[in-house]
């Protein structure tokens, strides 16, 4: 007995090679190492190429203080307002006697103004009654003499208002003559702080307000004593503010006598650190002064190898 077998077919061809998985972790690690290397080099470059110091912003400030006891009557400026030299800042009376006189006159003025308001209301009411009575006369409800009497009352009320206006004018003249004085700004600048309210008494020598001079900013910088050879007059430096913005400036003066650093720059539990001091001015006074800048801490970077000179 013969068995039949089916032909067998063998498929011949190249086998598919399994795809290699991309090693993502490897690239991540390499990227992190590159970033660390760049940051390290950047920090190292600062040490190699720059001397680092710390500074405080100093603004030219004028404190307005009376030479005698005064009472502030009225302010003509507000905080954060720019003023020009000779602008009126406020009015005041200088002595306590003048202050009492002013208060008495001011009270009289208030009463007279209330009295005028009362008569003005009466006048308006009488005018309305007068118009109404005119219509009633036409209807023969009122007699003509009633209108005549009311017309005379209206004229008397008008005269009373004119009289009160004259009295108000006289009181205003007395107020002006009672010792009221105007204080004019000694410089152009920005009013950054007002310490007293209107009608308050300010004693001799107390500060009424602060004015910062516009356009002038100086930085008092502190550097290590070992860096004295790098910190030179006319050296161009980089100023870094707390918000990380950077401005260029120039060293205008170097003090070779050392001074203690401000408390905010001192490290805790260490002896008082003394530094050399330098004055630095930002170019073109690019930073407009305001009270928040006063004594703001900044970083100063002084190039070790760049040449000084005015920009």
- Calpha distance 287→309 (Å, rounded): 21
- Calpha distance 34→142 (Å, rounded): 106
CB 265 within 8 A of CB 272: no
Is pLDDT at 16 greater than 70 in this prediction?
Answer: no
Judging by beta carbons within 10 Å of its beta carbon (0-12, 13-18, 19+), is residue 191 exposed, middle or buried?
buried
Sign of the torsion angle spanned by Cα atoms 204, 206, 207, 208: negative
Of 289 and 34, more confident: 34
- The pTM score is 0.49
Residue 196 zone, left/alpha/beta (φ > 0; ψ -120 to 50; rest): beta
- In Å, how far are 38, 109, 125, 133, 136 from 128, measured between CA atoms? 89, 29, 5, 9, 13
Of 83 and 12, more confident: 83
Which among 42, 63, 13, 76 is positioned nearest to 208, based on CA atoms?
A: 63
CB 209 within 8 A of CB 185: no
Which domains can be identified in the chain, with CATH numbers? 51-62+213-303 (2.40.30.170), 64-211 (2.40.50.100)
Instruction: For residue range 267-302, list pLDDT tens digits in order.
Output: 665 565 678 899 998 886 555 555 556 567 899 999
CB 239 within 8 A of CB 247: yes
Q: Tokens 């017309």 correspond to what residue? A: 151
Angle, vertex CA 203, rays to CA 197 and CA 206, nearest 5: 80
Is pLDDT at 235 greater than 50 in this prediction?
Answer: yes
Mean pLDDT of the chain: 80
Is pLDDT at 86 greater than 50 in this prediction?
Answer: yes
Instruction: For residue range 127-180, list pLDDT tens digits in order.
Output: 988 888 777 766 666 566 667 788 889 999 999 999 999 999 998 888 777 778
- Calpha distance 250→238 (Å, rounded): 9
Q: Is 82 helix (H, G, I), strand (E, B) or coil?
A: strand
Is pLDDT at 219 greater than 50 in this prediction?
Answer: yes
Judging by beta carbons within 10 Å of its beta carbon (0-12, 13-18, 19+), is residue 59 exposed, middle or buried?
buried
Structure tokens at 260: 């203690």
- Calpha distance 190→215 (Å, rounded): 10
- Calpha distance 269→267 (Å, rounded): 7
């Amino acid at each position: 007995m013969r068995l039949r077998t089916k032909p067998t077919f063998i498929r011949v061809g190249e086998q598919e090679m399994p795809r290699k998985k991309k090693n993502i972790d490897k690239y991540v690690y390499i990227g992190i190492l590159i970033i660390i290397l760049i940051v390290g080099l950047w920090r190292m470059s600062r040490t190699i190429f720059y001397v680092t110091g710390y500074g405080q912003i100093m603004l030219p400030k004028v404190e307005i203080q009376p030479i005698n006891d005064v009472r502030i009557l009225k302010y003509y400026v507000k905080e954060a307002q720019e003023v020009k030299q000779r602008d009126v800042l406020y009015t005041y009376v200088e002595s306590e006697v003048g202050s009492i006189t002013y208060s008495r006159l001011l009270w009289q003025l208030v009463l007279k103004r209330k009295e005028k308001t009362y008569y003005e209301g009466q006048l308006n009411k009488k005018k309305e009654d007068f118009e109404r009575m005119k219509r009633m006369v036409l209807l023969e409800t009122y007699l003509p003499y009633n209108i005549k009497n009311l017309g005379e009352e209206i004229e008397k009320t008008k005269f009373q208002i004119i009289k009160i206006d004259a009295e108000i004018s006289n009181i205003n003249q007395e107020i002006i003559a009672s010792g009221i004085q105007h204080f004019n700004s000694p410089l152009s600048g920005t009013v950054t702080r007002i310490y007293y309210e209107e009608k308050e008494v300010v004693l001799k020598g107390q500060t009424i307000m602060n004015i910062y001079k516009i356009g002038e900013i100086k930085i008092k910088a502190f550097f290590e004593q070992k860096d004295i050879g790098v910190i030179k007059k006319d050296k161009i430096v980089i100023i870094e503010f707390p918000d990380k913005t950077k401005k260029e400036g120039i060293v205008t003066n170097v003090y070779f006598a050392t001074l203690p650093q401000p408390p905010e720059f001192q490290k805790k539990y260490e002896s008082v650190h003394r530094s050399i001091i330098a004055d630095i001015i930002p170019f073109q006074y690019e930073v407009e002064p305001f009270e928040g800048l006063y004594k703001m801490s900044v970083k100063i970077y002084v190039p070790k190898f760049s040449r000084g000179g005015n920009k």
